[in-house]
Amino acid sequence: MIELQNITVEFAGKKVLNDISITFQQGEMIGLVAPNGTGKSTLMNVLMNYLKVNNGSLMFKDGLSYSSKSKEVKIHQFVSMMPDQSDLYNYLSGRDHLKMFATMWKSDKKLIDETIEALNMGHYVNKKTGTYSLGMRQRLCFAMQIVSNTEIMLMDEVMNGLDPNNVEVISHMLMKKKEEGKMIIIASHLLDNLEKYADRIFLFKEGKLVDADEIVATFSESILTTLRVKNMPEHVKQALLQRYPALSAQTLINGMTLISLGALNQEALSSITAFLVECNLPEFTFGNVTLNDLYAMYYHEII
Amino acid sequence: MWGYFKFEWVQFFTNKKNVAIYCLLLFAVIFYSLRVAPAYDPIEKVDVDEIEARYLTRATFLQDMAMKDLTGSHPSVFMAIDIFNYINPYDQKRLDALDRGDLSAYAEATSEWYDITNSFTYQNGSFFYNPSYYTYGSQYAEDNAFYAYFENAKRYEMFAKADYDLSIALFEQRTALQTLERLLNGPLPVILIGCALLLAIDIVTKDRRNPTILRGFPIADWKKLFVKGFVALLGGIVLFIPILIGIVIIGLQSGFGHFGIPVPYYTANVNWMQEGLLDVMSLGMFFTQCFLLLMMWFIVIITVVLLSSVVFRNELVNLAIGMLIIFGENFYFSRGVGFFWSVENYPTSYIQVGQIVSKIRNYYYMSDQLTVEFGITLLFTSTVIVVILMMVIALNSRFKMVK
């Protein structure tokens, strides 16, 4: 468990984290989403005590907090953060790095081989990391944190440089760790992936953590609320709204038009489908607002 | 802790800078052993030709004077006759002993020869020591020669009583262990302490290259510092491996010697005219004391580097501070200054490890206060102070070893 109370961090008078109060529980996967430089890494650094807060407090299980050096060591025994791939020792092998982390956290050595196998690292793990590609390094960094086997795992841009297959492999491993009761906090720009696996997703706005469910009330529910139409011309949108005055529409910066369906019946939905096909707009889906939509809606940016 | 030790150990011995230091030291040792040591030309050597030439010159002079009426001659002529008559029998004994190959008799006669020669040469405007002492306009040539003669007299006195095999190489201090003794009295301690400084210089600051890997390790910063210090100390001890290789190379050429060889040390005896200026210890004891003092120096340098690293976080500053400590003695050292200042209270006065153990440094300082025991106590106290300062910083909750 991590409990943040009124956490505030300022850099040069600018509040990067502004009075954040929230509690994360074991067995949760938390997604953090925001454009670069808005506070994701800062929050992780605060959780690791790499950065001192200007105000507020942080509490872990058994009332532990970063009040002294000895308590910091105790907390770091069950909280770890994924290393950055640029920090790897180029003259050591991947296996050396895994052994290093397993030894430091006194975890089961069997985990090293299991993780190597699960992440398909067997063909390169004994080579020096200086010869690795970005994706190989990234997988190694992820594996290092997995072998540390801590109760709380913080991962900043864990999917960087990974191909879709490896994104899936890592995602499944994360799910497995979550099922083991570990808390996983991930900052990522792979929104589809995050949306698929995270239990709660938070966006950063002006130093505050905003739950995606607060932005769109039904975000985390599996219900049909929205018609998403790609590259919808303005005149078609106006024509649709004239035909169905109960609808509301919003075109996002990523070219996606979100049409809120409200309480339309099946007949109306069929009619709308026919209308879009008539207008030669075959790329549309019925469903809910996606995290990509939410991101574009919230930050007016495209990832 | 053990895991962190292994991690630091691997890093230390795969650090290119450290590997380069070991390789350069090994290269220097091999060069010294193969080229410099065999060419060693001591001032006080066993030189039959020189003894014979001196002996014959004096004998001829004495014969010439015996045939002359010396009435009205210069007083120095009478003084020369007296001294030559007194010293020539000793040279005769030395030559005879060498002719017979009786090195024990040679040692006995030579010991006496050094004592007698010293007594009439020191501060005598008419007699001089070996000209080699006067090279480069040495201001202290007479004092150095005076000490060297006492040292040789003592050394040969012990050789005369020896129950082990004697050799010319032993007399001229050419054996491997004696070469090490000479080096410990010379530049070797500073070289080794300098190497220890260079090995340790980045042991903390290197971590800034891998911050996200290291700063989350569940080990207290003060423990990390201690492990780093311990690894650097072990790395310092590894510096002796090239030295041992050099000993083997020299030993194969000139013999190894043994730990029972006598090493004279200065005693600052007020009755030196009667009782002598020097006493002896075994070479084994000399090495033991040198090793202890060197280890203490390694510890001091490493702890200072650790403290400097957590305060300044810059290798160049570490280097500057380390150099200041190693060469600090040069700022105040001069012959006889110990008579006026309490130089024995400055830790930097103990940097010339071999000279502290053989106490020739006391002779140079004109002080009898510089001892190995006091030096180790002083260095240990300095270490404790540095460690306390380091702990105060490392235990501060705002301190981050890796930023």
CATH number of domain containing A166:
3.40.50.300
What is the edge-to-edge ordering of all strands in the sheet holding A208-211? Answer: A79-81, A152-156, A183-187, A29-33, A200-205, A208-211
Contact (Cβ atoms closer than 8 angstroms) between residue B183 and residue B287: no
Residue A187 lies in a domain: yes
Q: How many structural domains does chain A have?
A: 2
What pLDDT does B273 receive? 64
Domain layout of chain B by residue ranges: 2-40+176-394, 48-171
* HEC sequence for B328-342: HHHHCCCCCHHHCCC
**Separation in Å, CA of B238 to nearest CA in chain A:** 22
**Separation in Å, CA of B148 to nearest CA in chain A:** 53
Q: Residue A76: its chain B contacts at CB < 8 A?
A: 216-218
What pLDDT does A281 receive? 81
Does residue A197 sit in the same domain as residue A237? no
Contact (Cβ atoms closer than 8 angstroms) between residue B104 and residue B162: yes
Does residue A91 sit in the same domain as residue A131? yes
**CA distances in angstroms from B134 to B138, B145, B147, B183, listed in the order given:** 6, 9, 14, 22
Check the CA dihedral A293-A294-A298-A299 and report its sign: negative
CATH number of domain containing A250:
3.30.70
Does residue A136 sit in the same domain as residue A246? no
Residue A300 lies in a domain: no
Q: Which of B42-51, B128-137, B351-360 has the lowest mean pLDDT?
A: B128-137
Contact (Cβ atoms closer than 8 angstroms) between residue B77 and residue B65: yes
Q: pLDDT for A27-84, tens place per residue?
A: 999 999 888 878 889 999 999 999 999 999 999 999 999 999 999 999 999 999 999 9
From the CB of residue B240, how many other CB atoms can be counted at a distance below 10 Å?
13
The chain-wide mean pLDDT, for chain A, equals 88
Query: Domain limits at A84?
Result: 2-215
Which among A50, A68, A91 is the nearest to B215, CB-wise?
A50
Q: How many CB pairs lie under 8 A apart between chains A and B?
A: 65
Confidence of residue A90 (pLDDT cuts 50, 70, 90): very high
- How many residues comprise chain A? 303
Contact (Cβ atoms closer than 8 angstroms) between residue A207 and residue A69: no
For B219, nearest residue in chain A (alpha carbons): A73
What pLDDT does B66 receive? 86
Contact check, Cβ <8 Å, B6/A103: yes
What pLDDT does B272 receive? 66
Does residue A209 sit in the same domain as residue A245? no
What pLDDT does A300 receive? 67
**Separation in Å, CA of B104 to nearest CA in chain A:** 60
Contact check, Cβ <8 Å, B219/A50: no
Does residue A147 sit in the same domain as residue A267? no
Q: pLDDT for B237-279, tens place per residue?
A: 999 999 999 999 999 999 999 999 999 999 876 666 666 678 9
Does residue A68 sit in the same domain as residue A129? yes
* Phi, psi for residue B300 in degrees, rounded to 5: -60, -50
Half-sphere exposure of residue B101, counting CA atoms within 13 Å on the CB side? 1
Residue A221 lies in a domain: no
pLDDT at A264 over 80: no
Q: Residue B7: its chain A contacts at CB < 8 A?
A: 100, 103-104
Q: How many helices (H) and strands (E) does chain A have?
A: 11, 13
Reference B372, options B361, B385, B363, B388; nearest CA is B361
Contact (Cβ atoms closer than 8 angstroms) between residue A48 and residue A41: no
